[in-house]
Every structure is written in C-alpha cells, then in structure tokens.
C-alpha cells in the first residue's frame, strides 16, 4: 500500500515507530558494543601483561644465573651481593605472574608450576653459592661444569614456553573476539542507521506524495469551482437567451412584413450575441438570388451583398454549415476569406420551411469567444423562428394580394379601388393637385365571347389586364371594375393629361390580340369615360358616376373613343 493514501496513516505511524526503535537500539548497541570492545581490549592488554610477566620471570632468573656465574668466576663479594639482590626480584616476578593469572585457572596452575620451578632453580643456584662459600670457588666451578645445579633450568624454560604459548593462544582468541565484536557492532550500526534512514526516506516520500496529491486535489477543486461558476454564468446566459428568444418569437408574429422581421432578427442577434457579426438574406421568389435584407454586429468575414444559392453550402445542403476549430475550413463562396484566416468561426443557417428555401443567416465570430456550440444552437433556433415567420408573412401577403387582386387579370379588384380611391383623393386634395378616373369598357365583348368562347374572352381580358399594367405608373391604380370593365385612377393628373393617357390606353387595347387554340383573336376596341377631381366632384362614388356617364356617352357616340365627363 502506498504511504500517501489516507488509509496508510497507521502504517506510517508503525514505520515511524520502527525507525525510532531501531535508532534507540542502535544507540544501546553502540554503548554496549563500545563497553564490550573496551573489555576485550583490557583482556588483550592483560594477555600482553601475562606474556610480559613470563618474559620478566625468565629475565629475572637469567639475571640471577648470570650474577651467580659471575660470582663463581670472580669470587668477589660484590658479585655475591648482586646475586643476592637479583634473587628476590626473580621471586617477586614469579609471584606477580601468579597474581596476574588468577582469573585463569589453567594459567594459574602453570604460573604456580613456573614459580615452583623458579624457586627450585634458585635453590640449585643457592646451593652452588653455598658450596663456593664453604669449599671455595674452584669447587663450585667444578660442580657447575659437572652439571650439578643445572637440572631445573630446562624445565623452567619449558614451563615458560608452554605458558607463553597458552597466553598467546588466549591473546589470539581475545583479539579475534574483539575484532568480531567490532565488526558486528559496525554492521549493526550501519544496519541500524540505514534501515531507519530508509524508513524515514519512505515516510518523507509518502509525505511529499501526499503534499503533491493534496495540492493537485486543491487545484482540481479550484478548477471545479471555476467550471461551476462558468456553468452558472452559462446557465444564466442561456435562460436569458431563452427568454429573449421567446419574446422575439412573439414579436415576430406581429411583424407586418419581411423587412420588419429581418430588421428585428438582426437586432435580436446583435443583442444576444454581441461578439458576432453577419447578415440576413432573403431569397427572391425566383430562387436564383438571395439579397441582404439586414446586417448586425461587426462583419468578421465579408459576405456578398447578393449571393447565388449555389455559392452557399447551407442553402445547397439544406442544413447549417459551420467552419472553424473542429469543423474544418471549407468556406462558402459568398465569403471573402483571407488566406490563413483561422481565428474566426462562421456558420450559415438556411431559412427553410416545408422543404423550400426562404433565405439565410450568415454569422461569424472570433474563435477566442466562448460557447460556439451554444451560439450556433441559438442561431438555429432564431433561424427556425424566422423561417416560420417568413412563411406566415408570405402566406399573409399571398392572401392579401389574393383579396385585393383580380385573379384573371392580376389587376387590383373593385374592393381595393373603393378602399384606396378616397385616400388618393384626400392626398391630392391636401397637396392641391388634380386626380382623374378612367372608366374603360371593351366594345362588343359579348359578341367576342359568343364567337370565340368564354375561355377566349378570359384570355383577352387577361391580356388587356397586362396592357393596362404596363401603361400605368407605380402611383396609378389599375383595377378590374367588373366583367369587361376596368378603372384606372391617375393621381396628380388633370383632365388633359388624363385624356392623353386614355387615348394611349384606348389605342393599346385596340391593338391587343390574343393567341387562343392556335388562332390569333382580336383586337377589340375600347371606350373610355373620364372624370377629373375636383371639377367632377370630390367623392369617390361621384367621380365613378361621372366617369361611367362619360363612358356611356362614348358608347352612345359609336364606341372606340374617349369622352370626358
């Protein structure tokens, strides 16, 4: 088990205790060992003393022998005095040796034998000296030469040698013992130091590991705290975005037209994702071009003002197309990307409903910004809402147009005329300008129907509708009043100008033919009555009545003409 885990604490305590016990044991063993070593040294010293004592005894005996021999040879009293002085020294040495060996019975026995031998040898020498003193030096020399008084000398030498050998053996054994003790002590001390050191090292490494581990845990905790804070911020941001998205979806439903919806979308994206920049595109009804209808933020990567759907991967594939870190760098052709520009991410979100492309959201932002995936998810949600709104607006517009336009001719219908004529009169009245109304009726249309059929009649009416559309200005109102009768409102147009315009219309209708069932049919002439505000009146109904009356007169006067009311 590693010593850095919390569960290893008892183990660490045990290791510490073992190290402490080992250190104490080393201390005790060292003291004990040193004392033993000192005792061993004393014994070695003692053996040396014994060996020296043996030598001392031999030397003292030799001194006695030598002084005795000198006395025999010289017969001088001084020599005898030296002899007499040397004798007690030899006895003292032998006694001292005996004392030294009291600890060792075997050696004591040998020392006692040696002492006895010394005493015997001294007795022999004493006998010779006595002989010399009583019978003369010559007699003593002769006795000595005859070997009398020499017997103990060899035995003494032999005893001394045996005792020395025994003491030397003891000395060797004590030396070895001391050496062994010293080596054991060294070994024990080394072991006793190394093991606690190893244990302490292990403990230290465990502590270091634990410190590292606690630091790493601290770091992890700090990181987790930071992530938690970031996730709280992100959660708040997401809930704020969701709330804004809900408000946006509600407001979108109230938009009157596409431009308004696009402008609001741009504002919402700029508010929710201020670090992004981009454009909203609307696809034309022809589906061949998408044009910029709104912009937001600072454009990170320029995109074309008008783009071909084929140039955008998102419009081609019908799904969002991303570039940037983790999504590759396959850019759409409508983007002007600088070579090596990899510090920006982009997304194109197609605006689609029921499989039909309606437009595009193009957004780019710096890679340094955070939460790209969240941003893209938000843009996709915005795209979905916007697509729905676009479909609704288109549907509403279609219904509005259908309710205001005549389906056969494409011109405004009578309802539209009635709703707008009054407004146009008031506008001209405020500005002090005239306004004219033309009532146009195709001549003998019943006959045309009868001759070529109702469908042919419809085709001719549609063609006349196109002619009127082409001949009128944006501010004019051309409408089908009913049947084969048309009304054209000409704001800011006086009677003379109206007459000229009416003549243009009459001659254009008079030249209008239609291809039906591989036959060219027509043209039919047309009669036109004119009423001009303010001369003819200021009420819409009055103007229409006057124009109708003028038309009636034109019919009565032979048709194919213009009559002012």
Which residues lie near ligand GTP (CB under 6 A)?
441-447, 449, 454, 457-458, 461, 483-484, 555, 559
Cβ neighbourhood burial of 458 (10 Å; 0-12, 13-18, 19+): middle
Helix 105-135 × helix 9-74 angle, to 10°? 10
DSSP state, 215? H
**DSSP code at position 408:** T
- Orientation of helix 151-253 relative to helix 372-404, angle to 10°: 10
Shortest gap between Cβ of 447 and ligand GTP (angstroms)? 6
* DSSP structure string for 337-354: PPTT--SEEEEEEEEEET
Token readout for 546 is 């006057």
505: tokens are: 């219309």
Under 8 Å between Cβ of 434 and 493: yes
Query: At its nearest, how many Å lie between ligand GTP and the CB of residue 473?
Result: 26
- Nearby residues of 279 by Cβ (< 8 Å), 6 or more positions away: 292, 294, 295, 296, 299, 303, 361, 362
Nearer to ligand GTP, 124 or 406 (CB): 406
Report, in Å, the least distance between residue 403 CB and ligand GTP.
18
| Nearest to ligand GTP of 311, 555 (CB atom) | 555
Taking alpha carbons only, the member of 542, 495, 520, 541 closest to residue 528 is: 495
Query: In terms of DSSP bridges, do strands 485-491 and 519-521 run parallel, antiparallel, or are they unpaired?
Result: unpaired
**What's the closest the beta carbon of residue 293 comes to ligand GTP, in angstroms?**
38
Pairing mode, strands 435-442 and 477-482: unpaired
Q: What are 323's strand-pairing partners?
A: 346
| Smaller CB separation from ligand GTP, 248 or 445 | 445
Distance CA 463, CA 467 (A): 6
Task: Name the residue nearer to ligand GTP (CB basis): 43 or 486.
Answer: 486
Q: How far apart are the C-alpha atoms of 362 and 290, rounded to whole Å?
A: 12
Q: Tell me how far apart the alpha carbons of residues 96 and 50 are, in angstroms, rounded to a whole number.
A: 9
Other CB atoms within 10 A of residue 159 CB: 22
Q: How far is the CB of 440 from ligand GTP (least distance, A)?
A: 11
Please say which residue, 465 or 540, places its beta carbon nearer to ligand GTP: 465
Return d(Cα 233, Cα 244) in angstroms, integer.
Answer: 16
Task: Report in angstroms how near the CB of residue 464 gets to ligand GTP at its nearest.
Answer: 11
Question: Smallest Cα–Cα separation from 290: which of 302, 280, 300?
Answer: 280
Give the span between the Cα atoms of 387 and 188, in whole angstroms: 90
Nearest-approach distance from CB 505 to ligand GTP, in angstroms: 16
- CB-based contacts of 361, cutoff 8 Å, min separation 6: 265, 269, 278, 279, 280, 281, 347, 348, 349, 351, 379, 382, 383, 386
Q: Measure the CA angle with vertex 35, ends 33 and 39; round to 5°.
A: 115
> Between residues 410 and 537, which has the closer beta carbon with respect to ligand GTP?
410
Strand-pairing partners, residue 363, are 278, 347
Task: Supply the minimum distance, in Å, between the C-beta of residue 359 and ligand GTP.
Answer: 38
Closest of 383, 381, 377 to residue 349, by C-alpha: 383
Toward ligand GTP, which CB reaches closer, 98 or 484?
Answer: 484
| Cβ contact 532:495 at 8 Å | yes
In this structure, what token pair is assigned to residue 308? 């071909």
CB of 458 to ligand GTP, least distance (A): 5
Nearer to ligand GTP, 35 or 454 (CB): 454
Q: Which residue is nearest to ligand GTP (CB)?
A: 457
Least Cβ distance, residue 527 to ligand GTP (angstroms) = 7
CB nearer to ligand GTP: pick between 527 and 532? 527
**390/468 with CB nearer ligand GTP:** 468
Q: What share of the chain is helix, strand, coil (3-state, %, to 5)?
A: 65, 15, 20
Angle at 158 between CA 153 and CA 160, to 5 degrees: 95
Residues 56 and 68 sit within 8 Å (Cβ to Cβ): no
Shortest spacing between CB 453 and ligand GTP, in angstroms: 8
In the complex, the smallest distance separating the C-beta of residue 558 from ligand GTP, rounded to whole angstroms, is 11
Smallest gap from residue 513 Cβ to ligand GTP (A): 16
State the minimum distance, in angstroms, from the CB of residue 266 to ligand GTP.
Answer: 45
Tokens of 213: 């581990």
């Amino acid at each position: 088990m590693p010593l850095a885990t919390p569960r290893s604490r008892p183990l660490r305590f045990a290791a510490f205790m073992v190290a402490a016990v080992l250190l104490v044991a080393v201390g005790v063993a060292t003291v004990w060992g040193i004392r033993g070593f000192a005792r061993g040294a004393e014994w070695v010293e003692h053996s040396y003393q014994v060996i020296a004592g043996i030598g001392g005894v031999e030397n003292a005996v030799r001194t006695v022998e030598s002084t005795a021999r000198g006395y025999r040879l010289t017969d001088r009293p001084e020599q005898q005095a030296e002899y007499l002085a040397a004798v007690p020294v030899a006895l003292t040495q032998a006694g001292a040796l005996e004392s030294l060996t009291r600890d060792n019975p075997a050696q004591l026995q040998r020392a006692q034998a040696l002492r006895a031998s010394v005493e015997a040898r001294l007795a022999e020498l004493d006998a010779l000296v006595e002989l010399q003193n009583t019978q003369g030096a010559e007699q003593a020399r002769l006795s000595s030469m005859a070997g009398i008084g020499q017997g103990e000398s060899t035995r003494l030498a032999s005893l001394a040698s045996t005792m020395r050998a025994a003491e030397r053996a003891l000395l060797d054994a004590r030396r070895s013992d001391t050496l062994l003790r010293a080596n054991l002590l060294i070994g024990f001390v080394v072991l006793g130091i190394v093991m606690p050191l190893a244990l302490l090292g292990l403990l230290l490494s465990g502590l270091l590991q634990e410190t590292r581990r606690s630091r790493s845990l601290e770091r992890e905790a700090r990181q987790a705290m930071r992530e938690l804070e970031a996730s709280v911020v992100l959660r708040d941001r997401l809930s704020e975005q969701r709330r804004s998205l809900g408000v946006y979806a509600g407001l979108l439903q109230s938009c009157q037209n596409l431009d308004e919806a696009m402008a609001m979308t741009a504002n919402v994206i700029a508010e929710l994702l201020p670090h992004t920049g981009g454009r909203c595109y609307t696809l034309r009804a022809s589906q061949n071009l998408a044009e910029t209808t709104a912009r937001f933020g600072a454009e990170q990567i320029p995109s074309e003002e008008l783009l071909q759907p084929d140039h955008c991967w998102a419009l081609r594939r019908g799904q969002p197309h991303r570039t940037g870190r983790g999504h590759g760098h396959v850019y759409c052709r409508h983007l002007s990307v600088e070579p090596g520009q990899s510090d920006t991410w982009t997304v194109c979100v197609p605006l689609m409903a029921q499989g039909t492309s309606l437009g595009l959201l193009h957004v780019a932002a710096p890679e340094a910004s955070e939460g790209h995936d969240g941003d893209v998810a938000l843009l996709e949600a915005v795209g979905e809402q916007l697509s729905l709104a676009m479909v609704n607006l288109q549907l509403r517009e279609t219904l509005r147009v259908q309710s205001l336009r005549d389906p056969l001719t494409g011109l405004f219908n009578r309802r539209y005329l009635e709703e707008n004529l009054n407004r146009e009169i008031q506008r001209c009245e405020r500005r002090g300008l005239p306004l004219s109304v033309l009532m146009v009726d195709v001549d003998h249309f019943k006959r045309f129907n009868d001759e070529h059929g109702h469908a042919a009649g419809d085709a001719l009416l549609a063609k006349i509708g196109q002619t009127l559309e082409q001949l009128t200005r944006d501010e004019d109102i051309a409408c089908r009043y009913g049947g084969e009768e048309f009304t054209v409102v000409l704001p800011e147009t006086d009677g003379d100008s109206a007459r000229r315009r009416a003549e243009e219309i009459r001659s254009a209708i008079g030249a209008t033919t239609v291809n039906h069932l591989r036959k060219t049919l027509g043209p039919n002439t047309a009669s036109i009555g004119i009423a001009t505000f303010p001369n003819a009146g200021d009420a819409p109904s009055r103007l229409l009545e006057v124009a109708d009356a003028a038309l009636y007169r034109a019919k009565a006067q032979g048709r194919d003409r213009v009559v002012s009311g």
